[in-house]
Copies of this chain bind each other. A is one copy, B any other.
Amino acid sequence: MFDINDFGGIIYGADYNPEQWPREVWREDAQLMREAGVNLVSLGIFSWAHLEPQPDTYDFSWLDEVMDLLHEHGVGVNLATATASPPPWLSLKYPDSRPVTVDGVRLEVGGRQLYCPSHQAFRTQARQLITQIAQRYQGHPALKLWHVNNEYGCHIDQCFCGLCAEEFRLWLQERYGTLDALNTAWGTAFWSQRYGAWAEIQPPRRAPTYANPTQQLDWRRFSSDNLLSLYRMEASILREISPQTPITTNFLGFLPGLDYFKWAQEEDVVSLDAYPDPSSSRPHLEAGMTFDIMRSLRGGQRWILMEQATSAVNWRERNTLKRPGLMRLLNHQALAHGANGLMFFQWRASRAGAEKFHSGMVQHVGPQRSRVWQEVQALGQELKSLTELTQARVPARVAIMFDWNSWWALEIDSKPAALKLMPLVQKWYAALRQLGQNVDFVHPEGNLTAYDVVALPNQYLLSHAAAQNVRQFVNGGGTLATGFFSGIVDEHEHIQLGGYPALISDVLGLWVEEWLVMQPGETNQVQLRENGATYDVHHWAEVIHVTGAETVATFQQDFIAGQPAITSHRFGAGHAYYLGGDFPEAAVIDLLEEILTHANVPLSRLPATLNVTLSDLGNAQVLHLLNVHSTESLDVSLPDGGSRFEDGGSLPKVLTLPPYGVALVRYSRDVRLDELQVLE
């Protein structure tokens, strides 16, 4: 059976859509793939209409030919279930298989992903198609991996139709058992919402005003689970017919709609579609976060970068291309963060359709004339010297707590302020990366004991079990760094009374009375007691009462002047810090540096343009150094004893990384990050 860590090298390839091209191009494709070092392509993702041009009439001849051709050229296949986009005949035959928006608009044919996951005839047709595919190709020598559906929940993560309403009711019956339990959980005593029959319950469609928040939360949970049940149906066929071939479905990073912690448990390997915006000031941070959560979903298992752009995409307002060198840099970053596969969407840029302006490995100008082709071909060659990386672990001493449930809950309406979770997580992640840390993401009820420090940029919803998990972690010696507005509600989205965050008030040694939400332009300042350093606070500050915690910093303005802003509390064998306001990134870096230092976590304060990862080969360690600046070089003073990873060659003490430059340094000893120095 396929092993992500033993593919015979790093996986390299792309989505391949031969049905868009005349047969004469296929052979050229196969030859060019060989030239580029491609060893795996994803095939058939959007082929349903070509495999089943009419209901129950199948045509696999062209796919047979392509499979064979690829195999002849040494290219493996990541074969799709072809269910991602049903053919137009399905929506004509079953008009109610089309999903419905929150406003009741039934969506129309012409795009993709046009299906309601609750529709039985759609499921039946999909089941039948997958069965045919699995039976036909399960023994094919090119087959390496199964690709279930595609980007579940990308466009449609919630369908508000009557069938989904009925599924929602069943899901709720399973969750709550009785209506009484549901009424209690949803707090339906409020606004006369008490349900007397299951049939009265509806999805949170457009309502006169705010829908019940627990209903909204359960609806997000259900919608994720409902797509997951579709995935399960698809995967179960493959597992039955083709048990030797592993299964994946491509994730979309921090996709709002799907709880990937749940999903990842049901596939053999995690794969990711990552499209960081090349025009952002720090695309590597956006990328790195998604890389790290992918690795974290299955406990550190290496993963596949299943889709990325060779250059520009087509779906932003303005799509900046990847300037020379950036594509290679981001792929090296993926490897450093645990990828064992580097694949693109797509092999050959389309001539027609909605994505024709999405770059490919083969561009519209053709390979000979193309800068992009030169870069992807060179990368294909370079990968051959990096095979050993497929065995590396990415050890982290720090984890950020993350949970889709809390994300969903936080962004439901009717909060003290409209908060977005991701900017907070991004800020803390950026700070930890700038301190040189490998970062894991950990589920609130996951195993925290592997870490020295667990950071909660925001954990608005904290289940009772998670609170207990946190308590045990700190009690056992761990260090907790908690951001504002955390631990407010439990799993039912009920306030925990008596002083926030009531469930871990003892751990933090404080209680919060109220929140001082500031308007745009308003500022408070916070001053550290130890050294008098001050930081601005915007948007959010808290009225904190300590009950054992030490006041590390106080607010300087408004009616909370002089009151605690940042605290530290010894609890059991550990420490719990609280940051009671929305601090700018520069402050978060300083504060986390303090916290990590106290927790004896080695760190190095890096310039924003140097991206460092330390991976572990068991018998050696590798320092991955990336200069993420597009025009300026960096001088790095290396820890002693390193050698060039690729060939063991020697390296100067001070290594100059050119713009977008990459260096991998091998150490046969344990390297500490604080041995690294960057020369200004």
Question: In the complex, which residue of chain B has the Cβ closest to the Cβ of A101?
Answer: B206
Q: Does B49 contact A369, Cβ atoms closer than 8 Å?
A: no
Question: How many copies, total?
Answer: 3
Chain B residues whose C-beta falls within 8 Å of the C-beta of A572 in the assembled complex: none
- Let me know if A187 is at the binding interface, CB within 8 A: yes
Stretch touching chain B among A310-318, A423-431, A439-447: A310-318
CB-CB contacts of A552-579 with B at 8 A, as 1s and 0s? 0000001100000000000000000000
Query: Which residues of B are found within 8 Å of A190, using beta-carbon distances?
Result: 17, 20, 46, 350, 352-355
- Nearest residue (CB) in B for A111 is B207
Cβ-defined contact, B354 with A46, below 8 A: no
Query: Which residue of chain B is the closest to A279 with respect to CB atoms?
Result: B519
Query: A350 and B207: CB pair below 8 A?
Result: no
How does the 8 Å CB contact mask read for A32-73 relative to B, with 1 for contact and 0 for none?
A: 000000000000001111100110000000000000000000
Q: Which of A222-230, A328-336, A378-386, A410-418 contacts B (4 or more CB under 8 A)?
A: A410-418
Judging by beta carbons under 8 Å apart, are A351 and B494 in contact? yes
Contact A200 B88 (CB under 8 A): yes
Contact A317 B417 (CB under 8 A): yes
**Contact across chains for B318 and A108 when beta carbons are under 8 A apart:** no
- Given known A417-B317, A497-B366, contact A112–B209 (CB-CB < 8 A): yes
Nearest CB of B to A298, in Å: 29
Contacts of A261 in B (CB 8 A): none
Given the known interface contacts A279-B519, A415-B357, the answer about A558 and B314 at a Cβ–Cβ threshold of 8 Å is no
A160 to B, closest residue via Cβ: B108
Q: Is A476 an interface residue (CB 8 A)?
A: no
Taking CB atoms, residues of chain B closer than 8 Å to A317 are 417-418
- Cβ-based interface call for A500 (8 A): yes
Interface residues of A in 393-427 (CB under 8 A from B): 413-418
Contact A414 B109 (CB under 8 A): no
Q: Is there a chain B Cβ closer than 8 Å to A76's Cβ?
A: no
Q: Verify if A211 is at the interface (C-beta below 8 Å from B).
A: yes
| A128 lies within 8 A of chain B by Cβ | no
CB-contact partner of A155 in B209, B315, B558, under 8 A: B209
Q: CB of A517 within 8 A of chain B? A: yes
Interface string of A159-201 (1 = CB under 8 A from B): 0000000000000000000000000001111111111110111
Residue ranges of A at the interface with B (Cβ–Cβ < 8 Å) = 17, 19-20, 46-50, 53-54, 82, 84-89, 91-92, 99, 101, 103-114, 154-156, 186-197, 199-215, 279, 311-312, 314-315, 317-321, 323-324, 349-357, 363-366, 369-372, 413-418, 492-495, 497-500, 511, 513-520, 539, 543, 545, 558-559
